[in-house]
Amino acid sequence: MFHKEGFRIITITFLAVVAVVISADHYISTLWMSKGIQIVALVFLILVLQFFRNPKRIALESETQIIAPADGKIVIIEEVEEPEYFQDKRLQVSIFMSPLNVHVTRYPATGKIKLSKYHPGKYLVAWHPKSSELNERTTIVIDHPTYGSILYRQIAGAVARRIVNYAKVGDKAVQGHDAGFIKFGSRTDLFLPIGTPLSVGLNDRVKGGITIISAS
């Protein structure tokens, strides 16, 4: 199953690969070179397909849990000043997504969407400490019945050049449901109240819509 945001790129890539495979057979007389080009083209198609994969996941909707908004590795857990919305200290949990991870963004919790804002910006590497403030990003705040307001942020990386965000102010976010997509490498930050108990640790691998970040 593939994400709808990848349909256009997948179609273009597929047609290009078919053209390359046919052309290599017809115009390159050296067998090893022809087959080598065809293999490279097919590997490229496979990489594009795996990047836009969208595995079906059934999240257990819960008012007492926050789940991972994306697949990847926990690279930051620390108390920081959140200057955009809260303007006070929050517990930041950051998930780095490599190009090999599923890049679907999923709602970490159920609740009313209070803020959904896009920020143009730079394309620093996603693990850079300042990427959360300087890179192209979106900021989404959900009003949660147990945790209060929680904020998650989609952040573009050095390769990513497009963030897709489906969250709209006033809509209801449903935990685990599709909230958007970030193309080709990125990061997702969660900002939770200070003192929030965590179920994950630094360097843990998480799955969006499945892994529990916090349970109260």
Report the alpha-carbon distance of residue 27 to residue 23 in Å, rounded. Answer: 6
Helices and strands (DSSP H and E) totals, the chain: 3, 13
DSSP class of residue 100 equals: T
CB 187 within 8 A of CB 157: yes
The H or E element spanning position 139 is strand 137-144
The residues annotated as belonging to the active site are 186
* Residue 43: partners with Cβ closer than 8 Å, 6 or more residues away: none
CB 66 within 8 A of CB 190: yes
DSSP class of residue 6 equals: G
C-alpha distances out from residue 175 to 43, 66, 73, 87, 156, Å: 35, 8, 20, 25, 22
